[in-house]
Structure 1
Amino acid sequence: MDLPVMPPVKPMLAKAVHEVPRLPGLVYEPKWDGFRCIVFRDGDEVELGSRNDRPLTRYFPELVELLIEKLPRRCVVDGEIVVVTGAGLDFATLQNRLHPAASRVRKLAAETPAGFVAFDLLALDDRDLTAEPFSERRRLLASVLGDTGGSAARQLHLTPLTDNPDVAQDWFTRFEGAGFDGVMAKPADLPYLQDKRVMWKVKHERTADCVVAGFRWHKDGVGVGSLLLGLFDGDGVLHHVGVASSFTVARRAELVAELAPLRENALDGHPWRAWAQAWADAGGRMTGGQSRWNSTKDLSWEPLRPETVAEVRYEHVLGGRFRHGGRLVRFRPDRTPESCTYAQLDAVAPAELAALFGERTNP
Structure 2
Amino acid sequence: MKLPVMPPVAPMLAKPLSEIPDGDMSFEPKWDGFRSIIFRDGDDVEIGSRNEKPMNRYFPEIIEAVKKNLPERCVVDGEIVLVGASGDRLDFEALQQRIHPAASRVKLLAEQTPAKFVAFDLLALGDEDLTGEPFAERRARLAKALAHAQPPIHLTNATADHGVAVRWFHEFEGAGLDGVIAKPLDGLYQPNKRAMFKIKHERTVDCVLAGYRVHKSGPDRIGSLLLGLYNDDGELANVGVAGSFSMQRRQELFEELQPLVTTFDDHPWAWAKQEEGTRTPRNSEGSRWSGGKDLSFTPLRPERVVEVKYDHMEGERFRHTTQFARWRPDRDPRSCTYEQLEEPVKFNLDEVLNPGNG
Q: TM-score, normalised by structure 1?
A: 0.93
Q: Which amino acid aligns with 1:274?
A: W
Q: Does 1:331 align with 2:332?
A: no
Q: Which amino acid aligns with 1:27?
A: S
Q: Secondary structure at the match of 1:67?
A: helix
State how far apart, in whole Å, the 1-side matches of 2:352 and 2:92 are. Answer: 19
> What's the counterpart of residue 125 of structure 1?
126
> What's the counterpart of residue 95 of structure 2?
94
Q: Answer whether contact 1:287 1:299 (CA < 8 A) is retained.
A: no
State how far apart, in whole Å, the 1-side matches of 2:231 and 2:286 are. Answer: 25
Q: Answer whether contact 2:8 2:53 (CA < 8 A) is retained.
A: no
The CA deviation at 1:251 is 0.4
Q: Which amino acid aligns with 1:334?
A: D
Runs of 4+ in 1 over 6 A off after TM superposition: none
Q: Label 1:44 to 1:56 Cα distance change in 2 as closer, same or farther (>3 A).
A: same
> What's the counterpart of residue 4 of structure 2?
4
The structure 1 residue matched to 2:307, chosen from 301, 306, 311, is: 311
> What's the counterpart of residue 238 of structure 2?
240
Q: Label 1:357 to 1:57 Cα distance change in 2 as closer, same or farther (>3 A).
A: closer
> What's the counterpart of residue 137 of structure 1?
138
State how far apart, in whole Å, the 2-side matches of 1:276 and 1:112 are. Answer: 33
State how far apart, in whole Å, the 1-side matches of 2:55 and 2:230 are. Answer: 36
The CA deviation at 1:302 is 1.0
Unmatched tracts of structure 2, length 5 or more: 276-280
Q: Answer whether contact 1:29 1:183 (CA < 8 A) is retained.
A: yes
Q: Answer whether contact 1:240 1:287 (CA < 8 A) is retained.
A: no
The CA deviation at 1:267 is 2.0
Q: Answer whether contact 1:272 1:286 (CA < 8 A) is retained.
A: no
Q: Answer whether contact 2:213 2:225 (CA < 8 A) is retained.
A: yes
Q: Label 1:245 to 1:305 Cα distance change in 2 as closer, same or farther (>3 A).
A: same
Query: Following superposition of structure 1 onto structure 2, how do residues 240-259 of structure 1 map, counting pairs within 5 Å?
Result: 240-259=238-257
> What's the counterpart of residue 43 of structure 1?
42
State how far apart, in whole Å, the 2-side matches of 1:215 and 1:333 are. Answer: 19
Q: TM-score, normalised by structure 2?
A: 0.94
Q: Answer whether contact 2:69 2:148 (CA < 8 A) is retained.
A: no
Encode CA deviations 1:77-126: one digit per residue, 9 max, x unaligned. 00000002312111010001000000000000000000000000001111
The CA deviation at 1:288 is 9.1
State how far apart, in whole Å, the 2-side matches of 1:27 and 1:302 are. Answer: 46
Q: Secondary structure at the match of 2:264?
A: coil
Query: Following superposition of structure 1 onto structure 2, how do residues 54-133 of structure 1 map, counting pairs within 5 Å?
Result: 54-85=53-84, 86-133=87-134
Unmatched tracts of structure 1, length 5 or more: 279-284
The CA deviation at 1:295 is 2.5
State how far apart, in whole Å, the 1-side matches of 2:284 and 2:107 are. Answer: 27
Q: Secondary structure at the match of 1:84?
A: coil
The CA deviation at 1:292 is 2.9
Identity of aligned residues (%): 57
Q: Which amino acid aligns with 2:131?
A: T
Q: Secondary structure at the match of 1:135?
A: helix
The CA deviation at 1:55 is 1.9
Count of residues paired in the alignment: 349
Q: Secondary structure at the match of 2:96?
A: helix
State how far apart, in whole Å, the 1-side matches of 2:354 and 2:164 are. Answer: 13
Q: Label 1:277 to 1:92 Cα distance change in 2 as closer, same or farther (>3 A).
A: farther
The CA deviation at 1:56 is 1.1
Encode CA deviations 1:220-251: one digit per residue, 9 max, x unaligned. 01300100000011110111111000000110
Q: Label 1:69 to 1:349 Cα distance change in 2 as closer, same or farther (>3 A).
A: same
